[in-house]
Structure 1
């Protein structure tokens, strides 16, 4: 569909407004004044509106002209962005990178890498998405994200994925300091634990089978959205359960939580980076290489076994 409004015409209006005159716009755009006047007149004829009021000694932009310019500047910016990102894509850079992270890890573990990436000056939009348990693999498999941090091997689906070991995360059974189990004899048994609600972080998987670790049959549950909320629930004494040890060091040090030995301890979980093997975008591979040995991430994991 043909439209009278062109990028060139909008550039002319923008230059006139910023320079204050047709002559100033002509100088900035390296054109003769008559060419500037012709562009404006042609636009007015095509739109059947007056863009400038010429009744005075100086042409003044009409309300319709001001509206056209204000809205048109968004189009000019979009066109400039489109030109830049097209070149960016041609050079192998994505326009957007979506990173999913396992809720067992805090979002701030990615901040040092994100800061280093932005220091490169590459205009790639980065989106960080939290997922819980099998939701990390589900997000990658369905391509809701391009890279996942903290993928386990338990819920890994079939597919052509590249993975890289990051380290292990240990778990402890924790309760609030004033919870009835805080002073119970150890090791705790299933009968001891099942008397109290389990704090549960809901698995965000949409297609893969959800995880349900550490919940006993007939045990009541209090379900929340992520590990941060699960920790808060357990600190409040509303539920009990397993928590990633690196995430609760301060809560343990300040006495908000206490750990309890249980009859069947939970083994550490090995966490990995993962992506689709065929994906090789520059931003993706930059984060892949950076996060493979990143101090911001490593402080939350035991890397001695990798």
Structure 2
């Protein structure tokens, strides 16, 4: 029987990360590829972990990597422990230097990229005490809907910008960042282009809608605008959704600033619907650690408070769609 010391030695960050990778990829083979290991070595590591904990973590009767109830519990708690370890490491670095070694921004796909790049350019143009640019490495994550907040909650991002969450948590500070209007559009040759307005739910449901997949992996995914029984074409980004709509592959809603030039040029037709005017409240948020933020986070939060910055992040879609 394993001792408490054996169990503690087995529950390393590497072992917990291995469990997370296997569960996320769905198979030992896929996890081994991602981790740069051979499947047999991964299987051996899992068996060692099971022996140390004296439990079965995976259902051996399934061809896929199906977790047992014990394995599921280890996965949930392991992810929490990894987040805490990352938080401790980041906190230590911040205390030592004042500048974070890395700052990750999780940004909803509806936020204008051009304004983001302007902010990054301004950030790197700063001069620190040593005369050089900030030592903080920036990392940009483009997420969709709940995926933006999941990255912040899981400790994978330091600041999140996106659609305001329905239920903010006590560990997250959330501030308003303006509103963005979504407009329903179709291509000029789409059957709904000439239909009388406002379009009814029955009219819209008869036609394929183009949606963007929520990037959340653990939080409940958000689905907006899809009606019961409606045919759906799912795209990975708003830019690809726009392209599909321009080709007449379906209908859907996009941020008004993103489609304005296409509507003015006649490449898209904006239609009023039974929903009326649809506006989403946007927010920026960060983790409340109980300590003053590092210099990089403080700089970004100061910029995000500005009304001009908020307008730019919601409106400057012209000329740059990534």
Same fold (TM over 0.5): yes
TM-score (norm 2): 0.63
Q: Residue deviations 1:91-129, cap 9 Å, x none?
A: 310111100111111322211211111011112110111
Aligned to 1:292: 305
Could you say which structure has the larger radius of gyration?
1
Aligned positions of 1:1-306 closer than 5 A: 90-120=96-126, 121-154=133-166, 156-278=167-289, 280-293=293-306, 295-301=308-314
- Displacement of 1:157 after TM fit? 4.6
1:109 and 1:297 in contact (8 A); partners too:
no
Counterpart of 1:299 in 2: which secondary structure?
A: helix
- Displacement of 1:195 after TM fit? 1.3
Measured in 2, the distance between the counterparts of 1:238 and 1:162 equals 40
Measured in 2, the distance between the counterparts of 1:177 and 1:254 equals 11
Q: Residue deviations 1:58-96, cap 9 Å, x none?
A: xxxxxxxxxxxxxxxxxxxxxxxxxxxx99862310111
TM-score (norm 1): 0.66
5+ residue gaps, structure 2: 1-91, 127-132, 316-322
Aligned to 1:61: none
Measured in 2, the distance between the counterparts of 1:150 and 1:87 equals 27
Q: What is the alpha-carbon root mean square deviation over aligned residues?
A: 2.0
Classify 1:193/1:244 alpha carbon distance in 2 versus 1 (closer, same or farther; 3 Å): same
Classify 1:177/1:296 alpha carbon distance in 2 versus 1 (closer, same or farther; 3 Å): farther
2:116 and 2:313 in contact (8 A); partners too:
no
5+ residue gaps, structure 1: 1-85
Q: May I ask how many residue pairs the two structures share in their alignment?
A: 216
2:112 and 2:314 in contact (8 A); partners too:
no
Measured in 2, the distance between the counterparts of 1:99 and 1:213 equals 24
Q: Residue deviations 1:235-267, cap 9 Å, x none?
A: 111111111111111111211111111122253
Measured in 2, the distance between the counterparts of 1:296 and 1:157 equals 23
- List structure 1 segments (4+ residues) > 4 angstroms apart after TM superposition: 86-89
Aligned to 1:65: none
Classify 1:160/1:87 alpha carbon distance in 2 versus 1 (closer, same or farther; 3 Å): closer
2:176 and 2:281 in contact (8 A); partners too:
yes
Measured in 1, the distance between the counterparts of 2:244 and 2:168 equals 31
- Displacement of 1:227 after TM fit? 1.2
Classify 1:184/1:147 alpha carbon distance in 2 versus 1 (closer, same or farther; 3 Å): same
1:100 and 1:129 in contact (8 A); partners too:
yes
